[in-house]
Structure 1
Amino acid sequence: MKLMNGVHRAVLTISGGKLGWTLGRMPTVELHTTGRVSGVQRSTLLTAPVHGRGRWVFVASKGGDDRDPQWYRNLVANPEAAITVRGRTLKVHTRTATALEKAELWPQIVAVNDRYAGYQRKTDRDIPVIICEER
């Protein structure tokens, strides 16, 4: 995952931000969090299968791993974050979708990228869905 993130960053950098802002039908978003233990600013590239009108939805799938991704754990500890979308950085408030919200969002998520359904089948962990709203 880290290697894939590094390659993606390289594409954005080498192209001067002209390439790499979408992956299939999903926008690529750089999420900026504060490390829950270190307090250090962290960033990771994610896709937002559901988005619009100041709201982005992320899936903390970690490829179906049995553990939550570190970026998600950082958001749980500090839900105030920032995202960069096509070179524009925005402050956001994040939260884990409720079970009802996830039930509503999940069909939309897998309609855009059915890999998420495979990731959920791969693990016993209930994969969190995160809602980010512009502040």
Structure 2
Amino acid sequence: MTNSDKTDARPGRLSLWFQRRSNTRTVARVRAGKGRSMGMDLLVLTTTGRRTGRRHDTPLSWFAEGEAWLVVASGGGAGSPQWLRNLVADPDGAAVELPGQGPRPVRSEVLDGPERERAWARIVAAQPRYAKYQGRSERVYPVVRLTAR
């Protein structure tokens, strides 16, 4: 098994439990006005499950692009995260919360081609660790633009 095979493997049950618990705590911190972690700005992305119809809150690091927010759908290298699948199914069915602020409805757009490359360059210039994460995965991490509606 190569190193990238290990990184691209699906997380186990304990890992998922820990991730969900950590995400719940991070969402609470962002809503309380504390919006930074590991030197990155955080937001809460709320999506609706494409199959369940349930609300899902996900803390994400973000990068400014004018009036929009850029987020990376790394999924820990394992595959597309559920929030990305929910956005693709309903690009207008999401909201963003910045630290200490209420939710704002957003439109999502998965970037591709030169537009994705420009956004990716901006992201890795701001946080070089994303280039390192990308280097450990076989798949290209999607970049999503969230624009207030």
CA positional deviation for 1:52: 4.8
Aligned to 2:74: 61
RMSD: 1.8
Q: Distance in 2 between matches of 1:129 and 1:52?
A: 12
Match of 2:58 among 16, 39, 44: 44
| Higher Rg | 2
Conserved? CA contact 2:30–2:43, under 8 Å: no
Listed as ranges, the gaps of 5+ residues in structure 1 are none
CA distance in 2: counterparts of 1:26 and 1:104, whole angstroms: 19
Q: Name the TM-score, length of structure 1 as normaliser.
A: 0.85
Summarize deviations over 1:79-103 as a string: whole Å, max 9, x none.
1111111223111000101221111
TM-score normalized by the length of structure 2:
0.78
Aligned-residue offset at 1:42: 1.1
* Aligned CA distance change for structure 1 residues 84 and 11 (closer, same or farther; 3 Å): closer
Note if contact 1:64-1:118 (Cα within 8 Å) is conserved in structure 2.
no
Mapped pair 1:7 → 2:20: no
CA distance in 2, matches of 1:8, 1:37: 25
> Out of 118, 124, 135, which is 2:138 matched to?
124
Q: Aligned match of 2:96 in 69, 80, 83?
A: 83
Aligned partner letter, 1:2: R
Tell whether the 8 Å contact from 2:110 to 2:142 is kept in structure 1 after alignment: yes
Q: Runs ≥4 in structure 1, deviation > 4 angstroms?
A: none
- Amino acid across the alignment from 1:8: T
Q: Note if 1:33 corresponds to 2:51.
A: no
Go from structure 1 to structure 2 and tell me whether the alpha carbon gap of 1:61 and 1:24 turns closer, same or farther (over 3 Å shift): same
1:70 to 69, 82, 93: 82
- Superposed CA deviations along residues 42-84 of structure 1, whole A, max 9, x for unmatched, are 1111110x2154300000012222x101111110111111111
Percent sequence identity is: 33
Q: What is the aligned length?
A: 129
Q: For structure 2, list consecutive stretches of 5 or more residues without a partner in the other structure.
A: 1-18
